[in-house]
Structure 1
Amino acid sequence: MNRAARAGEFVKIARFETMSREDCIDEWRRTMGGQSLKYVSVQFMRSALAYEAQMKTHGGPSTAVRKALKAALKADQRTSEGGGRPRPALQSTLRPGTHLVREWNGRTYQIEVLDDGFQMDGKRYRSLSAIARKITGAHWSGPRFFGLG
């Protein structure tokens, strides 16, 4: 691709950075088809639209990369528990029986790691993020809230 063509492609991609939400939604419908997601951020739509434009212009990942990704996914699924569903990375590094402790607003919370989730105050949760949300009332990264991420 010559310099002029690359510059033209850069301008096409850069235009997404300044699109309004309404323009992103219109472009999403033209490019992706169907409805845009109701709660998708403008920044995410801009990034996804730019990615799609690059893929249309330059093509997707090479055949070798696609094969390597598929092989890695299959290997992960074979070694994971739960009927082929990969365990979350954090869950696989924390051993069942481990206790996490976090103080928040003057109260100490103790969480026990289970084989298939977490337990706090006798109630089971699927993720640390769900527990962090329960404790704080706001969306948090669970691993970050508990000092693990």
Structure 2
Amino acid sequence: MHDTWTTRDLPVLQAVVDAFEHNRRRQLPDVPDLVTATGFAVDVVLKALDALDGEYLSLHQHGLADDPANVWVEKIYPQARRATGRWPSPEHHAEALLQALRDLAEDAPDAETRGKAKKVRAALGDGGQKFLVEPISSVGAKMITGG
């Protein structure tokens, strides 16, 4: 099976997210823009956009379907920013929290704080990141939805 994520879809998604991040004129990226940004052929960009549509971005088409200039990215979803590393994932937050506990256990100014940090870190165990991902995801979802 051929890996299209790393060889086609992710590079196109990165170009799309870059276009949204650096777009000061609010011009939505179209297929010719993405061909220029990636160096891929038109048909490759169209296949990638089709694969990414719905999960990572929303496409819009106007006019004739055989004209690539009539296809553009209307919107990107949070998943696109996470997949391209622009937004941190719950795993990233969990690892940052574990690192902060490690640092606190070693560098806290007093023994009591170092001891408490060590106890919390020990309670989480070696699989601490895995244990923290679900609660962090849940808190993030509640913050986004206002729940």
Bucket of the pairwise TM-score, normalised by the shorter protein: under 0.3
TM-score, length basis structure 1: 0.27
Higher relative contact order (CA 8 A, sep 6+): 2
TM-score where L is the length of structure 2: 0.27
